[in-house]
Structure 1
Amino acid sequence: MTRYLFTLFCLAFFISGWSQVIKERSSPVDIISMRYKESYVKITYSQPSKKGREIFGKLIPFGKEWSPGANEATEITLTKDLTLKGFLVKAGTYTIFTIPEKDKWTIIINKDVGLFGSYNYNPKQDLIRFDVPVHSTGDLVYEPLTMKFDQRNDVADLLIMWDRTMITIPIKFIN
């Protein structure tokens, strides 16, 4: 009888734990990728939703480090070297941080990985930093944070869009 109760207890514990694993996240994970010849780029991020909130300058404060997304910090994986806005980035996996401002964002590629948000951001691990301008999407509102690649052969743009804000990060594959 004891063995039977122990088995039932273990089964109940496993099932309750598994239901937490398969529970839908409020900010679902998304992965975008692109290829050029032998090069492959993948970005993994979580998609928070606007939900009627004021986003930039309020929920996401201006002038403070932020990993674009929710939950785990946004990561970029490169199988070959490439340039981001003219800065060389060697093949590997990195974390993307930003510092949003009203008219520009500072983009940070950081060597730390496996982080949660920007809580443990360490500027000593920065590989590169550069600024990009902010563009308005006009009447188009992106309810969830959305990232996508706009690729044209060996060049591409990484577009990050949320609410009525969009930034563009230029990418060039190295042949």
Structure 2
Amino acid sequence: MKRTLTILSLTTSFALALGACNQESPKQQQEVSAPAQTVEKPESAEVVQDTIKKSIPSEATGRIGDASIKITYHSPGVRERVVWGGLVPYDQVWVTGAHKATTVEFDRDLIIAGKSVGPGKYALFTIPGRDEWTVILNKNWDQHLADEYDQKEDILRTKVKPYSLEHPQERLKYRVEDGGEAEAGIRISWEKIGIRLPVAGK
């Protein structure tokens, strides 16, 4: 009789333990799958943002015709500031970057805005306007901002029309475009505005 009771007791204990295991399985399954569900949520995806406050040393290179072009500049960010008419005043000579003067260097003759310019290294300045910009190449490329700018040292001045960018540009960006038989030039874009300086090989 005692043996029968012992067997029944063991059987009951085993059944209770098995039932407990079966009850815990869904919870365990939920705990395992929870992280996967969290990863799949759209709000969990983090967008990498530019949090650097300083202007970044930058460079743009390319070829137009047979000439190699290198543009060296410091790239400031918008950082939720008012750029045009605020950070960058209208109708004043702007370094078109930050810190030292932006430089443009090329090794062959080029036709820039219809004018022949010999190889060398030049400072690139602009005078932003609401409806029209002036783009300037100046002999004195080694200067801080436009502190030493002298119009007498200009080798080129030309007018260009600004245009609206399809997507906002957080940091100032230069780009050399070789259009082959079509349009070629240097593009400058920042915030919601862009300009293009026409350049052709000789």
TM-score where L is the length of structure 1 = 0.81
Q: Which has the larger radius of gyration?
A: 2
Which structure's residues are more often helix, by fraction? 2
Question: 2:20 is matched with which residue?
Answer: none
Question: 2:63 is matched with which residue?
Answer: 35
Question: Is 1:44 aligned to residue 72 of structure 2?
Answer: yes
In 2 relative to 1, CA 36–148 (structure 1 residues): closer, same or farther, beyond 3 Å?
Answer: closer
Identity %: 30
Runs of 4+ in 1 over 2 A off after TM superposition: 35-38
Q: Which moved more, 1:37-46 or 1:159-168?
A: 37-46
Alpha-carbon distance between aligned partners in 1 of 2:66 and 2:178, rounded to the nearest angstrom: 15
Question: Is 1:112 aligned to residue 143 of structure 2?
Answer: no
Alpha-carbon distance between aligned partners in 1 of 2:65 and 2:158, rounded to the nearest angstrom: 27
Alpha-carbon distance between aligned partners in 2 of 1:118 and 1:78, rounded to the nearest angstrom: 22
Alpha-carbon distance between aligned partners in 2 of 1:62 and 1:165, rounded to the nearest angstrom: 13
The amino acid that maps onto 1:151 is D
**Aligned-pair Cα RMSD in Å:** 1.6
Q: Number of residues paired by the alignment?
A: 150
* Structure 2 segments unaligned to the other structure (5+ residues): 1-51
Conserved? CA contact 2:65–2:201, under 8 Å: no
- SS in structure 2 at match of 1:93: strand
- SS in structure 2 at match of 1:56: coil
* Structure 1 segments unaligned to the other structure (5+ residues): 1-23
TM-score where L is the length of structure 2 = 0.71
* Structure 1 counterpart of 2:87, from 47, 50, 59: 59
